[in-house]
Homo-oligomer: A and B are copies of this chain.
Amino acid sequence: MKLSDAEQKQFDEEGYLFFPGRFSPEEARLLKQAADDVYAMDREEVWREKSGDTYNEPFRRLGSHPRLVDPVSQVLEGDVYMHQFKVNAKAAFDGDVWQWHQDYGTWKRDDEMPEPRAMNIAVFLDDVTAANGPLLFIPGSHKQGVVEAGHDLSTTSYPLWTLDNALVKQLADRGGCVAPTGPAGSMLMFSSLLVHASPANISPFDRTIVYLSLCHVDNHIRAFNRAEWIAHRDFTPITALEDDCLDELVAAQLAAAE
């Protein structure tokens, strides 16, 4: 699952790559069910158990899936560990907004991650359309390094270092503003320096996305200011599973249903 030269060049220039339908509809359905299961349980406990054996099996396998581990290891040039794992269930009629920010801005300032040798993966568990609040990117903004930001303590579920509007406008006048859309199972890979935001979802359909943040093992965080289940402290290198690791679970479910 390595990136081609053209993909690597595109990633260098734009700071992200989009893979529509990277996971099959069946794999996406399995993961959406996993998200529903997680949400049906007590939230904090679920996150706390995240690195434990009892954690949700489809998500455990997703976190070691070669379709995301291989390209990220390739770009970061070495073994990676998982710094964050989030399910963002932006439900229908959910007004929450994530202001313009760089993830590495927060990881550097709050977690003392030494370098931006880390990458985000977003896997769509619902169809993401122009109607249900797609993720917004400023292409090329990752080339600016860590830009000026203020600490927003109120908008989102945890504090975030966010950019002011004038700076976002200046970056967008250069690189534009895109909103990749595609069916459930699509995957985005984007630089931890890419400036991005996420609008409200006023549509009647959910927009669930799983975010996995992978970091080079040498680049692990140095400060433990945030809870372990927000900024992980287990720096064990991920070993990629086989490509059919989710399909196995799909097949097992089908067999059990017969």
* Chain A residues proximal to chain B, CB less than 8 Å: 92-93, 95, 97, 99-100, 129-134, 136, 138, 165, 168-169, 171-173, 177-179, 181, 197, 199-200, 202-205
Partner among B92, B132, B138, B165 whose Cβ is within 8 Å of the Cβ of A92: B165
Considering the chains assembled together, what is the distance between the CA atoms of A123 and B171 in angstroms? 28
Contacts of A179 in B (CB 8 A): 129-131
Given A92-B165, A165-B92, is A97 in contact with B131 using a C-beta cutoff of 8 Å? no
| Cβ contact of A202, chosen from B93, B97, B138, cutoff 8 A | B97
- Give the oligomeric copy count: 2
B200 and A200 within 8 A (CB): yes
Listed residue (A129, A138, A171, A204) with the most chain B CB atoms within 10 angstroms of its CB: A204
Tell me whether B97 and A200 are in contact (CB under 8 A): yes
Q: Please give me the residue from chain B that is nearest to A169 by CB atom.
A: B204
Please name the residue on chain B nearest to A205 by beta carbon. Answer: B177
Q: Quick check: B172 and A136 within 8 Å, CB to CB?
A: no
A169 & B130 in contact (Cβ 8 Å cutoff) = no
The 8 Å CB contact of A199, one of B92, B168, B200, B204, is: B200
B residues in contact with A204, CB < 8 Å = 138, 165, 168-169, 171-173, 177
Kindly report which residue of chain B lies nearest to residue A201, judged by CB atoms: B199
Measured CA separation A177–B205 after assembly (Å): 8
Closest CB-CB distance, A27 to chain B, in whole Å? 24
